[in-house]
Structure 1
Amino acid sequence: MSEGETPYVTIEQHPTGLVTWRERKKQATREALADAAWKLACEVGPENVRVDDIAAAAGVSARTFNNYYSSREEAIFAQRIRWAEEFLTVVHSRPGDAPLHDTIAGALLEVRGRREPDKATIRLVAATPAMQGEYLRHSVMTEFALAEIVATRTGCDQLSARVVGGAYALAIRAASEYWLRDDSDLPFTDFLRTALDRVAPAARGLEASVRASHPHREADSC
């Protein structure tokens, strides 16, 4: 190597860079599988989608598919729940002392308002019993995630966090169901905002209860 020449270093010689590259590659593969699964479900119906077809459409093997998803239903539904990851990112970006309802409702409306769902397509996919089961499974996961947010941001007990977090999860589910039944052009966020408004008193009441039970906590944060 001549003097002043920049040494050629492969990515394998940079452990940190290699991990980052691998994670990006894994995420890209996961998303490609989810996109392929959703597209196939829309084209031929969820019940007619095969794992081999999803893998082939994503350019990977069926074995690789099994490294990312446990079933075709999970892969099909994965494309529809990307909003959940975006939601958590927005929530974590909000100040820790922001009002609970403003944080959760604001983040939900922001994320769900970015892209209007295709109602006709979702109706088609949601009509499949297996997909209904996957939807309920993810609803439970969403409920626990919301309960954790409530507990972390208020410092309340686990039961209260589960109740209020469950109320937010139910608001999302109810808004989705009524939006799917509706034949007007009203956006999903209109239904979601109405449902979330019904949960606001519970969230504010919980915060008031925690402040009354732990008066020193608010003083310490000042």
Structure 2
Amino acid sequence: MGLREEKKLATRAALSWSAIRLIVQRGYDKVLVEDIAAEAGVSPRTFNNYFGSKAEAVASRHLDRCRRMAEVLRERPAGEPLWDSITHAAIEVFKPGPEVTAHPRPDRDAWAAGLQLMLTVPAIQAEFLRAAATAESALADAVAARTGTDAAKDLYPNLVAAAVLAAQNVVSQSFLSNRTSMQALMTNALRQISEGLPPPE
């Protein structure tokens, strides 16, 4: 990846994170595109070059994380068991980037409450559904490449991708009321899926 492409990805990530932070703090209707752009240190025109709406900016974080998971999965050693590779990829993408670490850690309870409220906004819900469809396709293609299957015809890569994204959704909800890290929760969730989801003892 060239320097220009890296800069574009960094700007996209910064805009998405700024949108989330401001909406969590103030509420969806009280945040303007101009506010998000200023928070990220760019112009509103730059925002519009990346996103068509505030909701798209919020949902893009989920989409970009899933696309990155698919990329990391493709890069894992060929002989590594599939679910080990998926777990490594999931842990990698949940590491906070510089757009996150550059800001003070928010109060966890207030942050969780704000996120839950943000996720009830119909426009954001719609964008998340659209992002999820794109993300599932990208992940299914990566699984197919590792398993010698065809995502256009075979159930297996699509079932795996759907299961991984379902786990990510459950983990994200659990994280809001759990003191465990996202990485630990995702590792646990994927382990249970890979073992066939045996009933708890």
Q: Deviations over 1:156-195 (max 9, x none)?
A: 2333221222122212222223333x3x423334432333
5+ residue gaps, structure 1, are 1-18, 203-222
- My pick for the range that moved more, 96-105 or 32-41, is 32-41
TM-score (norm 1): 0.66
Q: Following TM superposition, by how much is the alpha carbon of 1:81 offset from its aligned partner in structure 2, in angstroms?
A: 5.3
Matched, 1:57 2:43: no
Q: Deviations over 1:13-56 (max 9, x none)?
A: xxxxxx94543443343233223322321221123222232233
String of CA shifts for 1:81-105, please: whole Å, max 9, x gaps. 5543543443233112321111112
Match of 2:174 in 1: 178
| CA RMSD across the alignment | 3.0
**Are 1:97 and 2:79 an aligned pair?**
yes
Q: Which has the larger radius of gyration?
A: 1
- 1:5-154 to 2 correspondence within 5 Å? 20=2, 22-79=4-61, 82-112=64-94, 114-115=95-96, 119-154=112-147
Provide the C-alpha distance between the structure 2 equivalents of 1:174 and 1:33, rounded to a whole number of angstroms.
25
Distance in 1 between residues matched to 2:92 and 2:61, nearest whole Å: 18
Higher relative contact order (CA 8 A, sep 6+): 2
Distance 2:55 2:81 in 1: 37
Gaps of 5+ in 2: 97-104, 197-201
SS at match of 1:152: helix
Helix, strand or coil: the match of 1:149? helix
Asked whether the equivalents of residues 91 and 107 of structure 1 are also in contact (C-alpha less than 8 Å), the reply is yes
CA distance in 1, matches of 2:86, 2:29: 35
Supply the distance in 1 between the matched residues of 2:6 and 2:186 (Cα, whole angstroms).
32
Identity %: 36
Instruction: In structure 1, give the amino acid aligned to 2:11.
Output: T
Aligned to 2:194: 200
